[in-house]
Structure 1
Amino acid sequence: MILVSKPGLLASVQDLGRHGHRQLGICPGGALDVLALTLANRLVGNPDGAAGLELTMGGCELRFEADTRIALTGDDFSAMLDGVPLWPCWSVPVAAGQTLKLTGANASGRKKAGLRSWLAVAGGIDVPPILGSRSTDLKASFGGHEGRALRKGDRLALGTSRLDAAQRTRRPFGLREPDWGREEDDGAIALRVLPGPEFEQFTLAARDLLWGEHWRITPQSNRMGSRLAGAELKRKRGGDMLSSGVIPGTIQVPPSGLPIILMGDAQTTGGYPRIGVVIRADLWKLAQAPLNGKLRLVQVDMAQALAAWAGQQRYLSQVAQGLAAAGWPGAA
């Protein structure tokens, strides 16, 4: 069991998402950074789809009531396990009675603190699956732990670990974090974007601004979408649109002219023009980008988007091969 002593700003149970139900208006949800949760699960010997915890802006405290093994990915928020630093992408044994604390500070050496961390525990968080997923749908109030964000005093059960006693107590070891997507020299995080279905409805000036502006992520952002501040993007003609399908990464432009990049908990349809879509391989960067952080949108074509995704999958394959060579349970 895990006792939630302090949940922080927002903590919830998440896995890789609830897929195949968009026709019912049910969003996929799940961890906003699939790459981070996948790496954390592999480091503790879990299947990729095991449920972990998504922690927002630190400030949380968790007490482990059984011997286990944990891994933290994303930002570290000065994570300490009984006062000993816990670095991102490290697999660490935990004894019953130990406490993990994440403050709001950043200690990983990055130029700017991120927004979220993902914690995997050997065996995964054992909550009932609903529609094939243990993820929490915070809008619809189902899934995860009682369909809500975690609160002080919550206790979370753990599933059966694939680690044997020797593996569970093995000395800490770690992986090199992916170095894609770090801030560039101009202080912005670059997101690669495909032009959207309504791209041509915008003026030439607006299209140039989309690629040339430094966009700022506003504090009004959440798991549904990242609201951006910057230049106003104008359409050639106004008027309403019929609602159409949207997916995580879709960049909608409401009447204000300020873009919104949809995230995992976004609606499944929308009526705002879709000027672009962030490629799947870069959605994790947006999930970790800090509030008030700067973004730069970079136009790519489909071939480049597919190549980026293939590169990410190669990295995950290399991780799996390395862990298997070290006698660690493989992904499944």
Structure 2
Amino acid sequence: MSVAVLKPGLLTTLQDRGRHGYAAFGVGHAGPMDEVALRLANALVGNADETAVLEITLTGPRLRFDTDAVIALTGADFDSRLGDAPFAGWRAVPVPAGTVLDLARARRGTRAYLAIAGGFRAAPVLGSAATDVNAGLGAPLHGGEVLGIGQWASVPASRATWSLDPRPWFDADPHRPIRLLRGRHFDALDARSRAALFGAPFRIAADSNRVGYRLDGERLTLATPLEIVSEPLAFGTVQLPPGGQPIALMAEHPVTGGYPRIGQVAAVDLPRLAQRRPGDPLRFAEIGLDEAQTRYLRREHELTQLLDAITARLGRDRGRDGKD
């Protein structure tokens, strides 16, 4: 059972939920930029949470399914066709063998996640199939490649008759602020720069990628120079290089760094940040730690409830179809 890559797209990579426990050896987490979209795509086709999917960036691949399959696309809204018909996301769709899926350009958002029942097969590296382009672990898809897929249970046709509402889980509005906590070195900024971080507009630079989003805008400066020992970094850490333009670290960020850490994107807003594209405006809104934790826990509770409901719905569909 396989999927042939007829065209790879701009940047299409295999991703699962990431590589854990190797930061001490200099190996980062990688994994999806928008973890919520990945988890929902897997749930829609009956996969486990950690199953490998395709992360698709801005311009998608053209794929041929060499066996019957069931797929789901979540995240960014792509102009896409399955065979001769438009292809709708946020639902499970049966695909007959020989069908071609063409994902052209993203109309809204930046990254979509394509899950296939059984998952895309890849040899794990340090316990994960996640591609880390910056670290050279895995590689983006290339034309002519053949992707293996795992075994999957029979899927009733009724799976295609219902879909998820993406609005609670997908937000690519570039005008809504991203919530940011003060970082360890926030107070080292001069007064003008402290105000600008939470008040001035930035723009995501063209050279932004899965390692980090470079932010063009008002130059931020320190009140006095700092000498900082290299310290651990996280997805969403906002650093300030000597040039004065902040960098928001993303999924393939280095595990340590020596630039001042002036902010930390609230975890609940990381999927929203991941769906911004180069050239988009970006503003930060300050949030406190307690509120950031509360919002994240509320999101996880609601997401867990939805994942459980999807699993139950698929079970009922299989039961009505008379199959295990």
Q: Aligning the two structures, in what range does the TM-score lie when normalised by the shorter sequence? A: over 0.9
Length-normalised TM-score, structure 2: 0.93
After TM superposition, give the deviation of residue 183 of structure 1 in Å: 6.0
Superposition pairs for residues 27-176 of structure 1, below 5 Å? Answer: 27-106=28-107, 113-142=108-137, 147-161=138-152, 163-166=153-156, 170-176=159-165
In the alignment, does 2:49 pair up with 1:24?
no
| In 1: Cα distance, 2:98 partner to 2:185 partner | 55
Q: CA offset at residue 181 of structure 1?
A: 6.8
CA displacement, residues 44-63 of structure 1 (integer Å, 9 cap, x when unaligned):
00001000001111242111
CA separation of 1:95 and 1:231: change in aligned 2, threshold 3 A: same
Distance in 2 of aligned mates of 1:257 and 1:85: 45
C-alpha separation between the residues in 2 aligned to 1:79 and 1:328?
29
**1:184-221 Cα deviation digits (max 9, x unpaired):** 6xx52321111111011001111110010121111110
Which 5+ residue runs of structure 2 have no aligned equivalent? 317-324
Letter aligned with residue 149 of structure 1 = P
Distance 1:239 1:326 in 2: 56
Per-residue deviation, 1:121: 0.5
1:107-137: per-residue Cα shift (whole Å, max 9, x none)?
xxxxxx2211111010111111121111112
* Offset of residue 275 of structure 1: 0.3
Conserved 8 A contact 1:46-1:122: yes
Comparing 173-182 with 122-131, greater Cα deviation is found at: 173-182
Partners of 2:99 and 2:270 lie apart in 1 by: 33
What letter is aligned with 1:132?
A: G
Asked if 1 retains the 8 angstrom alpha-carbon contact of 2:134 and 2:211, the reply is no
CA distance in 1, matches of 2:170, 2:285: 12
Alpha-carbon deviation of 1:39? 0.4
TM-score after normalising by structure 1: 0.90
C-alpha contact 2:159 2:314 (8 A) present in aligned 1: no
Measured against aligned partners, the alpha-carbon deviations of 1:126-165 in whole angstroms (never above 9, x if no partner) come to 11112111111212322xxxx211100000000122x324
Cα distance in 1, alignment partners of residues 34 and 170 from structure 2: 13
- State the shift of 1:41 in Å: 0.2
1:86-121 CA-partner distances (Å, limit 9, x unpaired) = 223111111111111111252xxxxxx221111101
Cα distance in 2 for residues equivalent to 1:22 and 1:118: 26
Kindly indicate whether residue 208 of structure 2 is the aligned counterpart of residue 221 of structure 1. yes
RMSD, aligned α-carbons: 1.7
| 1:21-64 Cα deviation digits (max 9, x unpaired) | 11011010011110010000000000010000011112421111
In 2, the alpha carbon distance for the partners of 1:284 and 1:43 equals 19
Do residues 284 (structure 1) and 275 (structure 2) align? no
Alignment counterpart, residue 326 of structure 1, candidates 302, 310, 313: 313
Aligned mates of 1:313, 1:105 — CA distance in 2: 27
Name the CA distance, whole Å, in 2 between partners of 1:105 and 1:32. Answer: 16
Contact 1:193 1:298 in 2 (8 A): yes
Aligned to 1:265: 252
1:93/1:172 contact within 8 Å kept: no
Please show how residues 7-22 of structure 1 align to structure 2 within 5 Å.
7-22=8-23
Which of 176, 200, 204 is 1:189 aligned to?
176
Seen in structure 2, the aligned counterparts of structure 1 residues 326 and 179 have a Cα distance that, compared at 3 Å, is closer
Higher deviation after alignment, 8-17 or 171-180: 171-180
Contact 1:3 1:155 in 2 (8 A): yes
Q: Distance in 2 between matches of 1:259 and 1:170?
A: 45
Aligned to 2:168: 179
Distance 1:157 1:61 in 2: 16
Runs of 4+ with deviation above 4 angstroms: none
SS of alignment partner, residue 46 of structure 1: coil
Give the paired residue count.
315
Report the secondary structure of 2:283's partner residue. Answer: strand
In the other structure, the counterpart of 1:109 is none
Post-superposition shift, 1:274? Answer: 0.4
